[in-house]
Amino acid sequence: MSRAFVFPGQGSQAVGMGRELAEAFEVARHTFEEVDDALNQRLSRLMFEGPDQDLTLTENAQPALMAVSVAVMRVLAQQGGVDLAKHAMFVAGHSLGEYSALCAAGAFSLADTARLLKLRGQAMQKAVPVGKGAMAALLGADLEQAQAIAADAAQGEVCACANDNAPGQVVVSGDADAVDRAIVLASERGLKRCIRLPVSAPFHCALMQPAADAMAAALETVAVTAPVVPVVSNVTASAVSDPAEIRRLLVEQVTGMVRWREGVLFMKEQGVTALVEAGAGKVLAGLAKRIDKSVSAVSVQTPADVESFLNAFNA
């Protein structure tokens, strides 16, 4: 079995995430303490106890999701000897999950990753005034259809494909009026459902350029080393290991489309037969089934999941 480890993005957070892991494994507890110290914030208490509206804030959700993902990977390493260099072909993450992937693969320190994601969340939130931007899921659209709808809806404003998640699930992002026009056009063109998403900013489009500039400056100050396995970039849907290229692509990723569907297909073409989603939720495992049923996918987020995965891993 050829594995890739994948790491969830925003939207997978939920109050209580990581708590069972911290109670069961000292290494997970220490991971959360390390993130708390790096941010000078009791983020772990917010993760375990809420309130939900505070955890959902972009600047909290991003480092929190990364912390759970890295804790899962450290537990798997300690409890079952899982070593990415030996046991994985690739790592990949959805949007902020790309930072989790890079941290898990040793490209960034945990403290640097936490601080980068806190800044990334703040910069993305500040880039566009609340209410000016929006995102919508065009369900039933393929990428080409969604791109045509976005182009026709723009009318001089920003409207672009932000996430190509799976066949029939493309997300558009941009100015609120343009996104509303895209919803109307999509309906007129026969798409089954178009949903405006409950997000606080229009991620992965040109309106995020101020956040991209902030990340370019921040990434220049942080040490990046070659990951122990290649990372499949959101921007290129192909493998990258060079630290300078990793930096460049992380800046592009802020305004660029997340090419998740293509990234999964790239890993499959390279011989990956199984995806392991490390962290909160089961979104990526669900998308994998829609992208290519021949690639198996499991989610690991609780002590029971850890036990189940390691039993199969060491069988």
pLDDT(193) > 80: yes
Question: Is 238 one of the annotated active-site residues of the chain?
Answer: no
HSE (side-chain half, CA atoms, 13 Å) at 219: 25
Question: Is 95 one of the annotated active-site residues of the chain?
Answer: yes
What pLDDT, on a 0 to 100 scale, did the predictor assign at position 198?
84
- Give residue 199's pLDDT band: very low, low, confident or very high (50, 70, 90): confident
Q: How many residues does the chain have?
A: 315
What pLDDT, on a 0 to 100 scale, did the predictor assign at position 257?
98
pLDDT digits (tens, 9 = 90+) for 77-125: 999 999 999 999 999 999 999 999 999 999 999 999 999 999 999 999 9
pLDDT digits (tens, 9 = 90+) for 215-253: 999 999 999 999 999 999 999 999 999 999 999 999 999
What pLDDT, on a 0 to 100 scale, did the predictor assign at position 71?
98
Domains of the chain: 3-127+207-313 (3.40.366.10), 133-199 (3.30.70.250)
In percent, the amount of the chain with pLDDT more than 90 equals: 97
pLDDT(24) > 90: yes
Which of 35-44, 89-98, 186-195, 290-299 shows the lowest mean pLDDT across its residues?
A: 186-195
| pTM (two decimals) | 0.97
pLDDT digits (tens, 9 = 90+) for 152-183: 999 999 999 999 999 999 999 999 999 999 99
What pLDDT, on a 0 to 100 scale, did the predictor assign at position 39?
98
Active-site residue, selected from the candidate residues 95, 200, 233, 299 = 95
pLDDT(314) > 90: no
What pLDDT, on a 0 to 100 scale, did the predictor assign at position 244?
98
Q: Write down the mean pLDDT value for the chain.
A: 97
The radius of gyration of the chain from alpha carbons, rounded to an integer in Å, stands at 19
pLDDT(1) > 80: no
Rounded to an integer, the average pLDDT of 126-154 is: 95
Rounded to an integer, the average pLDDT of 303-315 is: 95
CB 260 within 8 A of CB 163: yes
pLDDT(259) > 90: yes
CB 301 within 8 A of CB 64: no
Active-site residue, selected from the candidate residues 44, 69, 173, 204 = 204
What pLDDT, on a 0 to 100 scale, did the predictor assign at position 82?
97
Measured N-to-C along each axis, helices 176-188 and 143-154 cross at an angle, to the nearest 10 degrees, of 130
Strand order of the β-sheet with 274-278 is 239-240, 231-232, 90-93, 3-7, 274-278, 296-300
pLDDT(134) > 90: yes
What pLDDT, on a 0 to 100 scale, did the predictor assign at position 78?
97
CB 231 within 8 A of CB 239: yes
pLDDT(200) > 90: no
Written as six digits, the tokens of 144 are 């080409």
